[in-house]
Amino acid sequence: MATISGANAVFLFVAELNGYKSGPSMDDKIQYGIRCWLSTKLLELDLEQEDHRKHLHENIWLERLYLDLDRAFGLDNIEGAIRKELFRINPCDMSLTLDPNYSWTVPIELDAGASMLQVEAMLLGDLQLATATNMVEGPLTDPWSIKGLTRNQVKKACTPMLYGSSQACYELWESNGIQFGIDEVRTYNEALNTGYLAVANLFKEFIINNCKPSPIMDVTIWGESFRIECNRFRNVGERTVGYDIYDSESGTIKRVFHTTTAKVPDLDQFRRYFVTLLVHNIDSQVADAIAEAVYDEFGWVIDIHDAFIVNPEAASFVRAKYAELMEEIFTNRKAILGDYFRSIGISSSAQKQWNQLQSKIVPMDSFKCGPMALK
Amino acid sequence: MEYRDQILNGNLTLPGASTIEAKLGEDILAKAESLWSALWHNFLNHESPINSTYWYEQWDDPKSFNLIIMSLCKSGWLISTAIPERNWAEMQLNRDHLLSFVTEAELLEVRSQYKFQQYRPRATKSTKSDLVRLNGKLDRTGLIRTGFMKAGNTRYSYDLDTLVKYQEAIQLNLTKSMSKIRDIHPQMKASITDYDEISVDILNYLVDEQPTMTRGNCVADSRGRAISSSLSKVANPISCKDFRALLTMEQ
């Protein structure tokens, strides 16, 4: 069954595929999606070129969504000129022509707008992070947008750095083949020390500097207790062993010496694991809960880390569930962080650095998560 | 079943298994079967050898280990190479011996079919919720993911019309990495068992058969995020965005 809510979810996804990253409101994004549909807007791709083929999936999805929308709204045999006229006359009230008996065939993807920053926004109760990631209702923004830098530059440096990478932005840009100059390095470093990125950066530093890893640990995150093991190792020496093995060519047993490197857990490097441990565990608990609820209710969902591929009719359910879970994290943030810090050995001796982090936070007394936390 | 039939069926069992059991016991037979399975699957995958020192360590009984190796070598099934000068030892199935039961073309077809079946996406039931991949091994650490388990049963197919419309470009995306390797190493021989050839076969299979698929079981990574078993399949919707965009909901 097709509803306007489902159609709006498709329009939002159409807008997203067509590059809508920021704008005045969710409704504006829906209207942009409608305009894209009625004008059958696609990316201009030359499929002979490898770089263009990287975006083929966007056009495939758009073409299929346009056809699904056409069928749902009875426009599948309407020519282009008439479509535009139809849109000019009545761009908003699409409900008049929607066939309620239509069943969508093409699923849509709802993707968290920077789930790492969203989870940290909730754990720290920071308004800046929540606003930058569209968790607060209002104008839509791109969390990976910094004036003077391309989106690719920001995302390719911020994601690993805020997860704990020890590499500098220019090293990450170099390894991703991204062009840059000294001004861009300066702009990036400035951004990382101000506003919402500074909060995320200090939070990362706080965890890495103050955790006390051991080779095997039991940790607790948001009510879930489980075992982890050190995944970084350093070499401490070599061990050579002789093996007597039959050789078919000579028909004799020959002795072969094989040297292996003895390894021990590298607990210093292991520190960098504890930021992703917290964020990925929480986003996986969120994804798991949503996948279960959507599967039980609608029977169809494919979760991919912090993204959900669902029937358009399930979209508002997913957005509501995601918002509910984010609010739950916000409400229980002190207990979640307290349990986690205790389980990874962060003690009161870290108070000074915690206070420094707190001074950068713009606190929220209460929080209501908006639907556009999922793009 | 005769060796020829076993090879053609892609399931060559350990030769002389009953003799090994009678003379060396069940435990040694189990180890020998495990070694044989590794030899056979490595052969089917890449015609590549296995590391003898690794298996020596696994076996933990040098005498019976060498007895089995020697016996398989002398009956022609195995080639074991030990090179003290290079500190190296490896073993692999004797290709020439296999060719005494089947033709070259048949053997190639067996390997191609094996890889096709290995990489073909399919509908499997998802029943596991507590397995965790921890430092490369499966374990239970306390993480439970029932939602991922349920979602693994979601049934989907691919939009045939659009797949056919963009088949050429999709195929280029699918075989991109192998094409790049071939550009760097033009002397590399192409074979019907290569990953890109198998990928093309699977693409044609998707067009011809229009199968219904599922993501199947997931294991969690050490933090709790899902690692889907379908990631090892060609044309899966998780790692291949073209196929994600072709998803059609099945009930």
Write the pLDDT tens digit of every residue in B55-99: 999 988 899 999 999 999 999 999 999 999 999 999 999 999 999
Strand ranges (DSSP E) for B140-180?
156-158
For the segment A266-289, what is each residue's pLDDT rounded down to a tens digit? 999 999 999 999 999 999 999 999
Q: Which is nearest to A204 in space by CA: A259, A260, A123?
A: A123
Which tokens sit at A78?
């309407």
pLDDT at A87: 63
Last residue of a domain, one of B35, B66, B98: B98
* pLDDT, tens digit (0-9, with 9 covering 90-100), for A87-126: 665 555 665 678 999 999 999 999 998 999 999 999 999 9
> How many domains does the structure of chain B reveal?
2
**pLDDT value of residue B189:** 67
Burial (Cβ within 10 Å: 0-12, 13-18, ≥19) of residue B144: middle
Q: Is the pLDDT of residue A169 over 90?
A: yes
d(CA A111, CA A16): 10
**pLDDT band, residue A65 (cuts 50/70/90):** very high
Q: Which pLDDT score, from 0 to 100, does residue A88 have?
A: 62
Of the ranges A81-95, A155-169, B167-181, the best mean pLDDT one: A155-169
Per the CB < 8 A criterion, the answer to whether B71 and B16 are in contact is yes
Q: Write the residue in B52, B84, B154 that is nearest to A300 by C-beta.
A: B154
Neighbours of A88 (CB within 10 A): 9
Q: Are B8 and B106 contacting, i.e. CB atoms less than 8 angstroms apart?
A: yes
Measured distance CA(A310)–CA(A115) in Å, rounded = 18
Span B173-202, pLDDT tens digits: 998 877 777 777 776 667 777 888 899 999
Tokens 């045999």 sit on residue: A77
- Contact present, A124 and A333 (Cβ < 8 Å): yes
Share of chain A above pLDDT 90, in %: 88
B183 at A interface, C-beta within 8 A? no
Residue A59's H or E segment, with its range, is helix A56-72
Inform me whether the C-beta atom of residue B200 falls under 8 Å from chain A C-beta atoms: no
**Do the chains contact at A303 and B151, CB–CB below 8 Å?**
yes
DSSP code for A98: -
Amino acid found at B81: T
pLDDT of the residue at A231: 95
With CB atoms and an 8 Å threshold, state whether A244 touches B142: no
- Residue at B235 is within a domain: yes
A193 within a domain of the structure (yes/no): yes
CA A162 to chain centroid: 13
Q: Is B249 on the interface with A (CB under 8 A)?
A: yes
Contact between B207 and B163 under an 8 Å Cβ cutoff? The reply is: yes
> What is the spatial distance between Cα B135 and Cα B138, in angstroms, rounded to a whole number?
8
Q: At what angle do helices A56-72 and B167-174 cross, to 10 degrees?
A: 140
| Measured distance CA(A184)–CA(A136) in Å, rounded | 29
Domain holding B47, by residue range, is 3-98
Same domain? For A255 and A165 the reply is: no
Q: Does B145 touch chain A (CB under 8 A)?
A: yes
Is residue A350 located within the same domain as residue A275? yes
CB A336 within 8 A of CB A329: yes
- Chosen domain end from B52, B67, B98: B98
Q: Please give the sequence-ordered ranges of beta strands (E in DSSP) within chain A, or none if there are none.
A: 108-111, 216-221, 224-229, 233-247, 252-265, 301-304, 307-310
Residue B113 lies inside a defined structural domain of this protein: no
DSSP code of residue A212: -
Looking at the structure of chain A, the number of domains it has is 3
DSSP for A159-204, written as a single string: HHHHHT----HHHHHHHTT----HHHHHHHHHHHTSHHHHHHHHHH
Question: Could you say which of A57, A285, A288 has the minimum Cβ distance to residue B244?
Answer: A57
Residues A216 and A67 in one domain: no
A-proximal residues of B, 59-98, CB under 8 Å: 62, 66, 69-70, 73, 78-84, 87-89
Lookup: tokens for B107: 């053997």
Q: Which of B150, B164, B210, B233 to mutate to test the interface with A (most CBs of A within 10 A)?
A: B150
Q: Are both A18 and A60 inside the same structural domain?
A: yes
> Which pLDDT score is estimated for B250?
87
Q: Are A240 and A258 in contact (CB under 8 A)?
A: yes
Report the pLDDT value the prediction gives residue A177, as an integer from 0 to 100.
Answer: 92
Q: Which residue of B has its CA nearest to A254?
A: B82
Residue where a domain stops, chosen among A76, A106, A136: A106
How far CA A172 is from CA of A154, A169, A176, A183, A347, in Å, comes to: 10, 5, 6, 16, 33
Per the structure, the complete domain to which residue A27 belongs is given by 4-106
Is residue A166 very low, low, confident or very high in pLDDT (cuts 50, 70, 90)? Answer: confident
Cα→Cα distances A117→A306, B98, B166, Å: 12, 58, 37
Among the three residues B98, B132, B161, which one is the final residue of a domain in this structure?
Answer: B98
Alpha carbon separation from B154 to A112, B149, B189 (Å, rounded): 21, 10, 40
Exposed / middle / buried, residue A185 (Cβ in 10 Å: 0-12, 13-18, 19+): middle
**Is residue A30 included in any domain, yes or no?**
yes
Instruction: Identify whether residues B74 and B40 lie together within a single domain.
Output: yes
Q: Is residue B116 part of a domain?
A: no
Residue ending a domain, choose from A106, A127, A145:
A106
